[in-house]
């Protein structure tokens, strides 16, 4: 595997379900990001981890719970979601804190549908 | 706070014709600027980046962009468009003072290529 991978690619879940999205980067990076991409809206940054330290939570509802066990893996745990949470969830990685340039490399995304 | 504006939501161009996508940013310090492309059902792919130096930067797939500080712009160009260039294009800006590497994305420009 190369680059940034995400599993699953597609997920359909009910509002009462609990599921997790997984992201793995094979680039030796230290920072990882979760974004939400909804139709007709700019990318929304949800969470940032840098050397496993979470730095950002842009007013994301608590039904989204991130986990970063190491610099290569990032999870997004989902529970009791709402239909408006249906979107493409993108994971990205970069070299990390104080390491310019810090362009981000993206995974293919998980298309989430909440029914 | 930094912001990015992509004035054109949708552009239609004929195959073989030139393409220019506009990006304007608002930021007080030195910005780091990026262009990404997203094909349907895929993540974002980095086309090119500007940090400093030569204001005309070359990227992948024959794209180039020019940084104009006086106009706060970073427009993307391609001299001759191929059908495979049909996609959505995102401009992004990063802050030189942000050690976490966060990026602000524009809303995107959808490019349609006609025969």
Contact between A95 and B100 using a beta-carbon 8 Å cutoff? no
Each residue's pLDDT, cut to its tens digit, for chain B (115 residues) gives 678 999 999 999 999 999 999 999 988 777 889 999 999 888 999 999 998 888 999 999 999 999 999 999 999 999 999 999 999 999 999 877 776 778 889 999 999 999 9
pLDDT above 70 (res A1): no
Query: Given this model, what pLDDT does residue B40 score?
Result: 87
Question: Rounded to a whole number, what is the distance in Å from the CA of B14 to chain A's nearest CA?
Answer: 24
pLDDT at B108: 95
A102-112, pLDDT tens digit by residue? 789 999 999 99
Q: Is B41 on the interface with A (CB under 8 A)?
A: yes
For position B7, what pLDDT does the model report?
96
What residue of B is the nearest CA neighbor of A95?
B101
Cross-chain residue pair B105–A101, CB shorter than 8 Å: no
A8, A110 contact by CB (below 8 A): yes
How close B64 gets to chain A, by Cα (Å)? 17
Q: Is B65 exposed, middle or buried (0-12, 13-18, 19+ CB in 10 A)?
A: buried
Closest residue by Cα to residue A40 from B43, B107, B95 = B107
Of B36, B41, B105, the CB nearest to A42: B105
* Contact present, B109 and B6 (Cβ < 8 Å): yes
Asked, as a colleague might, if the bond just before A8 is cis with ω within 30 of 0, I would say yes
pLDDT of residue B99: 66
For chain B, give the DSSP string.
--EEE---SEEEEETTS-EEE--EEE-SS-EEEEEEEE-TTS-EEEEEEE-SS-SEEE-GGG-EEEEEGGGTEEEEEESS--GGG-EEEEEEEEETT-TT--EEE---EEEEEE-
Closest partner residue to A45 (CB to CB) among B32, B36, B102 is B102
Instruction: Name the 3-class secondary structure at A83.
Output: helix
Residue contact A48–B102, C-beta within 8 A: yes
pLDDT digits (tens, 9 = 90+) for A11-48: 999 888 899 999 999 999 888 999 999 987 889 999 99
pLDDT at A100 over 80: no
Q: What's the sign of the alpha-carbon dihedral B89, B94, B99, B100?
A: negative
Q: Distance (Å) from the C-alpha of residue B95 to the closest C-alpha of chain A?
A: 11
Enumerate the residues of chain B whose CB falls inside 8 A of the CB of residue A103: 34, 46, 49
**CB-based contact B81:B16 (threshold 8 Å):** yes
Please say if the pLDDT value at position A85 is more than 80: yes
């Amino acid at each position: 595997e190369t680059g940034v991978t995400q599993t699953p690619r597609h997920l359909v879940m009910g509002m009462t379900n609990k599921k997790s999205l997984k992201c793995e980067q094979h680039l030796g990076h230290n920072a990882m990001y979760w974004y939400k991409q909804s139709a007709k809206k700019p990318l929304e940054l949800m969470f940032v981890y840098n050397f496993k330290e979470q730095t950002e939570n842009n007013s994301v509802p608590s039904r989204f719970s991130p986990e970063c066990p190491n610099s290569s893996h990032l999870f997004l745990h989902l529970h009791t979601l709402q239909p408006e949470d249906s979107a493409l969830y993108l994971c990205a990685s970069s070299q990390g804190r104080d390491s310019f340039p810090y362009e981000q490399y993206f995974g293919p995304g998980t298309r989430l549908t909440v029914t | 706070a930094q912001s990015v504006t992509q004035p054109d939501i949708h552009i239609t161009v004929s195959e073989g014709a030139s393409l220019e996508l506009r990006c304007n940013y608002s930021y007080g310090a030195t910005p780091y600027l990026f262009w990404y492309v997203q094909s349907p059902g895929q993540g974002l792919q980095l086309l090119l980046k500007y940090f400093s130096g030569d204001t005309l930067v070359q990227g992948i797939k024959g794209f180039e962009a020019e940084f104009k500080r006086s106009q706060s712009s970073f427009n993307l160009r391609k001299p001759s468009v191929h059908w495979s260039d049909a996609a959505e294009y995102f401009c992004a800006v990063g802050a030189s003072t942000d050690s976490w590497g966060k990026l602000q994305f524009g809303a995107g420009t959808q490019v349609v290529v006609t025969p």
